[in-house]
């Protein structure tokens, strides 16, 4: 068999698997861009933009409040900053270019757009793309991370099945095309859990490999907390359990790592509040992590016809995991337990969707179990089943795109 042509940069190989994964990610990007192109800006969008720009450009003059939106009542600041950053950047670019003109030819009097700091709807172009594209980027970024983890654990077939289900999941597309903290929390908690697992594995090796993984763990925890406090708490707990399980003879280091990671994440979260102590205190009093158990989220997702093929794949994977011993190992069980722990949670103070955070773990579990069964004598049967599920899911997702564009 002819060798597959590969290119690489400093040891990173780009071969056929990487090219196919990139194609799937481009399909996800294409779906999201199509939806964004058919959306209209809403009052919710302008709220995220205004609050985010205030965070970057100037805190609210109102005493005791971080922005004119208040202290966000426990809602994470990550999404607001992400929505406002492109608008703030473009505004600064426009003002910078204008200062290069002669005073008599300048468009913006007194160095502001349209005479006010916040309202620049006519001067700033492509607002819908500027506000929504950052969230699309994080969704695509998570897809790349999902493929990397699943392929590393289960090989090409498991990685592609997991990424394919993620790419054509209408729920993922829906949350990727609107400003919200949910897609950021989903990105953060998946990275947090698997970074913790990677940290535990690194403890078995030389010490010089510990530091970069610890920095990643700290950043993942801090950014997840900035998106949603409950996601950070649940991810921290899951990561701690897996670290203690995997660290074996290095368990004495785990608690130290967790303590320093938690303290560092508080500093990251403090930075998101512009180091304003009064506003930062609302992280602990705003009620963002108040929650209880409910099946409304899982019922909503699995009851959606457009997610039907994913539901079928999950049921098949669960049956195989129960009846085949070769599927019940850590690589499959860890994402299943994490997803099962996330699905029934429901916040009571602010809106959140923990069922969405569980999806990357479910796709990882499905990819792993199918990868195991594809190594048996029934390979052709389950290869056909996996292909049929992916084709059906892609069809349902594409048909759902017009509805997603209208769902605001």
**CB 143, CB 165: distance < 8 Å:** no
Among the listed residues 195, 197, 233, 200, the one whose alpha carbon sits nearest the alpha carbon of residue 215:
195
The mean pLDDT of 354-379, rounded to a whole number, is: 96
pLDDT of residue 289: 82
Q: For residue 366, name the pLDDT band (cuts at 50, 70, 90).
A: very high
pLDDT of residue 209: 86
Inter-helix orientation angle 379-406/308-323, to 10°? 150
Q: Which of 60-74, 253-267, 280-294, 378-392 has the least mean pLDDT?
A: 60-74
**CB 164, CB 390: distance < 8 Å:** yes
pLDDT of residue 107: 62
The mean pLDDT of 280-301, rounded to a whole number, is: 87
The mean pLDDT of 35-64, rounded to a whole number, is: 82
Instruction: Collect all residues with Cβ–Cβ distance below 8 Å to 254 and sequence separation of at least 6.
Output: 200, 203, 240, 243, 244, 247
Cα four-point dihedral sign 259, 145, 365, 166: positive
Q: Which of 198-212, 271-285, 323-337 has the least mean pLDDT?
A: 271-285
SS3 10: coil
pLDDT of residue 27: 98
Q: pTM here?
A: 0.91
Among the listed residues 159, 155, 190, 149, the one whose alpha carbon sits nearest the alpha carbon of residue 172:
190
Cα–Cα distance between 217 and 196 in angstroms, integer?
6
Higher pLDDT, 121 or 349: 349
The mean pLDDT of 338-360, rounded to a whole number, is: 92
Q: Check pLDDT > 50 for residue 276.
A: yes
Spell out the domain ranges in the chain: 43-128, 138-406
Q: For residue 127, name the pLDDT band (cuts at 50, 70, 90).
A: confident
**CB 360, CB 150: distance < 8 Å:** no
**CB 349, CB 357: distance < 8 Å:** no
314: which 2 tokens?
């999950």
Burial code of 282-305, b = ≥16 C-beta within 10 A, e = fewer?
A: bbeebebbebeebeebbeebbeee
Burial code of 119-130, b = ≥16 C-beta within 10 A, e = fewer?
A: ebeeebeebbeb
**pLDDT digits 0-9 by tens, 2-42:** 334 455 545 557 788 899 999 999 999 999 999 999 988 88
**CB 164, CB 395: distance < 8 Å:** no
Instruction: Collect all residues with Cβ–Cβ distance below 8 Å to 311 and sequence separation of at least 6.
Output: 302
Place of tokens 């990643």: 216
């Amino acid at each position: 068999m002819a060798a597959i042509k590969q290119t690489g940069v400093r040891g990173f190989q780009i071969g056929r698997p990487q090219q196919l994964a990139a194609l799937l990610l481009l399909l996800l990007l294409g779906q999201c861009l199509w939806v964004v192109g058919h959306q209209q800006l809403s009052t919710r969008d302008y709220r995220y933009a205004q609050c985010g720009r205030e965070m970057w450009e100037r805190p609210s003059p109102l005493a005791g409040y971080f922005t004119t939106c208040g202290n966000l009542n426990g809602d994470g600041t990550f999404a607001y900053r992400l929505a406002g950053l492109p608008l703030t950047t473009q505004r600064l670019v426009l003002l910078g270019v204008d200062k290069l003109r002669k005073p008599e030819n300048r468009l913006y009097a007194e160095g502001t757009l349209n005479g006010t700091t916040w309202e620049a709807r006519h001067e700033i172009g492509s607002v819908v793309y500027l506000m929504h594209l950052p969230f699309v980027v994080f969704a695509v970024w998570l897809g790349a991370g999902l493929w990397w983890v699943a392929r590393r654990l289960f090989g090409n077939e498991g990685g592609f099945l997991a990424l394919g289900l993620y790419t054509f999941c209408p729920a993922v597309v829906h949350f990727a095309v609107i400003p919200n903290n949910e897609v950021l929390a989903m990105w953060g908690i998946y990275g947090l859990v698997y970074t913790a697992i990677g940290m535990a594995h690194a403890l078995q090796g030389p010490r010089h490999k510990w530091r970069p993984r610890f920095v990643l763990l700290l950043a993942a925890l801090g950014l997840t907390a900035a998106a949603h406090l409950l996601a950070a708490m649940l991810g921290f707990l899951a990561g701690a359990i897996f670290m203690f399980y995997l660290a074996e003879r290095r368990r004495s280091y785990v608690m130290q790592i967790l303590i320093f990671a938690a303290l560092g994440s508080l500093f990251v979260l403090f930075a998101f509040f512009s180091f304003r102590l009064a506003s930062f205190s609302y992280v602990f009093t705003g009620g963002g992590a108040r929650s209880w158990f409910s099946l409304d989220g899982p019922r909503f997702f699995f009851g959606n016809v457009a997610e039907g093929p994913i539901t079928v794949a999950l049921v098949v994977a669960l049956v195989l995991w129960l009846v085949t011993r070769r599927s019940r190992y850590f690589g499959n069980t860890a994402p299943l337990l994490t997803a099962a722990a996330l699905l029934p949670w429901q916040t009571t103070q602010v809106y959140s969707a923990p069922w969405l955070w569980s999806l990357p773990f479910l796709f990882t579990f499905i990819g792993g179990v199918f990868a195991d069964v594809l190594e048996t004598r029934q390979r052709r049967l389950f290869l056909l089943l996996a292909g049929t599920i992916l084709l059906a899911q892609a069809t349902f997702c594409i048909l759902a795109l017009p509805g997603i564009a209208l769902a605001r």
